[in-house]
């Protein structure tokens, strides 16, 4: 069995995480194999109340004994001071989770149909002040009216994320097209280096096409012709913004999953936030986290050549998409009136009706 850390997070986090774990338990029953052992860990506001830090060292140490993590959303907008770091940023940096993979796919109620692409976002550098210095934020105030913000781009991280993008584009269900998004006409050195490394990785994949766009123009093209794209690779902040824009094309962040991937560790983490305005109401959409967990199971299965984990991933993916495409059970963000639990129960029902091949 794989050891997976579980951090329920803030806001709606405990609701959607517990619901997702129930789905996985039933999935294991369906395939007749125990895949996961869960390790409950604390991070976020509950951890701060108990340990005086939003990311206690105890949590970091225990995570090193795990194969991966299920991470609930965090209310980072409430974190202030040195004892309240962003746990997500800490984990991405500590475990070198250099690629943030965010699939985008249409559902019947989407504003745009035939959308099926994935954004691969560099995950550890860029403009993010909480992760691009070794031991301090990268924003400075030389005087009370001036802020200087640094941007970090390295050759190694750029190459790593480009390799993930081309690997995904090379999968049999994709269009074999990689689009690099940058601003090398202005940020000539940083974005220039990123684009250079993407072109170098392209040399290993002669059968895959590569095009590149400036970020401002691409933000418009993504709205005009979202069905054209396949795998989009970009730097940290550009990827963060584009993935939220892309989620809006297909139904919102409630169905936008993500996987933070490194060489030896991966984190299932929905792209959305902690939604404090609906916390405790039982109406949060669990689909984004469920799809993120499905991606984690798939990553584990491929990494360890594990047929059970791959089978579980395939069944879970099929069940979620059948509910999205065929069922009237939907949370309010998708125009329905169902609860978090009802959506998960519907996914479980479909799981038990799908065939098992192992």
Residue 105 lies in a domain: yes
Q: Is 115 part of a structural domain of the chain?
A: no
pLDDT given at position 48: 97
Asked if the structure places residue 66 within a domain, the reply is yes
Answer whether 250's CB lies under 8 Å from 107's CB: yes
Note whether 230 and 268 are same-domain residues. Answer: no
3-state SS class at 60: helix
Number of domains in the chain: 2
- Tell me, what DSSP letter sits at residue 152? B
- Contact by Cβ (8 Å): 91, 69: yes
Sheet holding 209-214, edge to edge: 36-41, 2-7, 68-71, 266-268, 259-261, 99-105, 116-122, 231-234, 177-182, 209-214
Residues 126 and 80 in one domain: no
pLDDT of amino acid 137 = 78
**Which residues of the chain are under the pLDDT cut of 70?**
131, 135-136, 358
Residue 114 lies inside a defined structural domain of this protein: no
In a domain, 202, yes or no: yes
Has residue 13 been placed in a domain? yes
* Structural domain boundaries enclosing 188: 122-250
- The end-to-end CA distance of the chain, in Å, is 16
> Residue 127 has what pLDDT?
87
Residues 134 and 237 in one domain: yes
- Do 225 and 307 lie in a common domain? no
Give residue 358's pLDDT.
63
| Domain shared by 64 and 28, yes or no | yes
Which residue, among 87, 117, 90, has the nearest Cα to 10 in the 3D structure?
A: 87
pTM comes to 0.94
Q: What is the pLDDT of residue 228?
A: 96
Q: Could you give the CA distance from residue 355 to residue 312 in angstroms, rounded to a whole number? A: 11
Q: How far apart are CA 56 and CA 43, in angstroms?
A: 7
Same-domain check for residues 245 and 126: yes
Residues 81 and 143 in one domain: no
Largest Cα separation within the chain, whole Å, is 65
DSSP 37: E
> Same domain, yes or no, for 258 and 342?
yes
d(CA 29, CA 352): 9
Cα 302 to Cα 129, 160, 311, distances in angstroms: 33, 18, 11
The contacts of residue 104 (CB under 8 Å, 6+ apart) are 115, 116, 117, 118, 119, 226, 243, 246, 247, 249, 250, 256
pLDDT attached to residue 2 = 96
Judge whether 116 lies within some domain. no
Specify if 117 maps to a domain: no
Tell me the CATH number at 354.
Answer: 3.40.718.10
Domain boundary among 250, 271, 299: 250
Whether residue 141 is found in the same domain as residue 246: yes
Identify the domain boundary among 229, 250, 271.
250
User: In the chain, where does DSSP find H-type helix?
Assistant: 13-31, 45-51, 57-63, 87-94, 155-169, 190-202, 215-224, 236-250, 287-303, 307-326, 340-351
Last residue within a domain, chosen from 250, 270, 286: 250
Pick from 66, 1, 68, 70: nearest CA to 36: 1
Model pLDDT, residue 128: 80
Q: Are residues 64 and 161 in the same domain?
A: no
Q: Which of 168, 18, 172, 51 is nearest to 103 (CA)?
A: 168
Instruction: Round to whole Å and give the CA distance between 78 and 276.
Output: 11
């Amino acid at each position: 069995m794989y050891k997976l850390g579980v951090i329920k997070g803030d806001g709606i986090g405990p609701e959607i995480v517990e619901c997702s774990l129930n789905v996985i338990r039933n999935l294991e029953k369906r395939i007749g194999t125990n895949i996961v052992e869960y390790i409950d860990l604390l991070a976020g506001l509950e951890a701060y109340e108990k340990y005086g830090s939003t990311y206690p060292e105890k949590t970091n140490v225990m995570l090193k004994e795990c194969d991966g993590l299920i991470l609930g959303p965090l209310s980072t907008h409430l974190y202030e001071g040195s004892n309240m770091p962003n746990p997500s940023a800490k984990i991405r940096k500590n475990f070198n989770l250099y690629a943030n993979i965010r699939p985008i796919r249409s559902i019947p109620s989407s504003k745009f149909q035939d959308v099926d692409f994935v954004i691969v976002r560099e995950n550890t550098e860029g403009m993010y002040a909480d992760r691009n210095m070794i031991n301090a934020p990268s924003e400075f105030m030389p005087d009370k009216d001036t802020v200087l913000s640094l941007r970090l781009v390295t050759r190694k991280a750029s190459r790593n994320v480009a390799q993930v993008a081309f690997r995904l584009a090379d999968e049999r269900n994709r269009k074999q097209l990689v689009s690099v998004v940058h601003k090398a006409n202005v940020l000539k050195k940083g974005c220039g280096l990123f684009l250079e490394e993407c072109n170098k990785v392209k040399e290993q994949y002669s059968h895959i096409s590569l095009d590149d766009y400036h970020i401002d123009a691409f933000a418009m093209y993504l709205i005009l012709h979202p069905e054209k794209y396949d795998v989009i690779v970009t730097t940290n902040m550009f990827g963060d913004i584009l993935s939220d824009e892309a989620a809006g094309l297909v139904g919102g962040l409630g169905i936008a999953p993500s996987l933070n991937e490194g060489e030896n560790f991966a984190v299932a983490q929905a792209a959305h936030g902690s939604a404090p305005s609906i916390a405790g109401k039982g109406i949060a959409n669990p689909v984004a986290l469920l799809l993120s967990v499905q991606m984690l199971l798939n990553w584990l299965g491929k990494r360890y050549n594990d047929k059970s984990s791959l089978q579980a991933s395939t069944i879970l993916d099929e069940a979620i998409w059948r509910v999205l495409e065929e069922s009237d059970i939907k949370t309010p963000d998708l125009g329905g009136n169902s609860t978090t639990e009802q959506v998960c129960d519907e996914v479980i029902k479909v799981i038990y009706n799908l065939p098992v091949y192992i």
